[in-house]
Amino acid sequence: DYLITGVGTGGHITGVAEVLKQHFPNLKVFAVEPELSPVLSGGTPGPHPIQGIGAGFVPRNLHTDVLDGVIQVEKEDAFEYARRASLEEGLFGGISSGATLAAIAQKLPEIPAGARILGFNYDTGERYLSIEGLYQWEGAQSVGQ
C-alpha cells in the first residue's frame, strides 16, 4: 500500500516503485530526505549528517513521476529511530535506516489501519559506531564493561 524509503542514487526507489506499481496500481510512494537538504521538495541543498541520502541534487536515476510525495526528516529523529530499532527490535541499522523509520512514524497517522508499509534499511549500524550521539547515550556501555 505504501513505499517509504530514503533516496541515494534514486535507482532503488525508482525501480522498486515502477515494478510494484504494475502489480499494485494504488501504491503510494514517498521519498525520504533530510530536513537540512530538502532538494527533492524544491528546497536548497545543505550539509546534513544523514549519510546515504540527501545528495544535494536530484539524481538522474530518480524518476520523480513515481513519487507521491517527499517526507523530510530531522537529524534528531533519524538518530532516535536508528537507536530505537537497535534497542527495541534488534535491527542494527545506519542513520538513513533511522530516517526511513522516522519518516514512516511521521506518516503513520495519515495511513489507514491495516495498510502495508514497505521501507528499506540499506546498511548496518556497524559503520556508524563512531558517529557522535548516534549509538552513545547516558548509561551505554561497550561490550565487556
* CATH code of the domain made up of 2-128: 3.40.50.1100
**pLDDT at residue 84 in the model:** 93
**pLDDT at residue 109 in the model:** 98
Statement: residue 143 has pLDDT above 60: no
CA gap 92, 85 in Å, rounded: 7
pLDDT class of 97 with cuts at 50, 70, 90? very high
DSSP state of 124: B
Long-range (24+ apart) CB contacts under 8 A made by 13-22 are 13/62, 13/66, 13/67, 14/61, 14/62, 14/63, 14/66, 17/63, 17/66, 17/67, 18/63, 18/66, 20/118, 21/66
**Cβ partners under 8 Å of residue 88, min gap 6:** none
**pLDDT at residue 125 in the model:** 81
Question: How many other C-beta atoms lie within 10 A of the C-beta of residue 15?
Answer: 13
**pLDDT at residue 140 in the model:** 60
Strand partners, 14: none
Grouping H, G, I as helix, E, B as strand and the rest as coil, residue 31 is strand
CA gap 104, 108 in Å, rounded: 6
Tens digits of residue pLDDT in 115-134: 999 999 988 887 777 777 77
CA gap 27, 69 in Å, rounded: 12
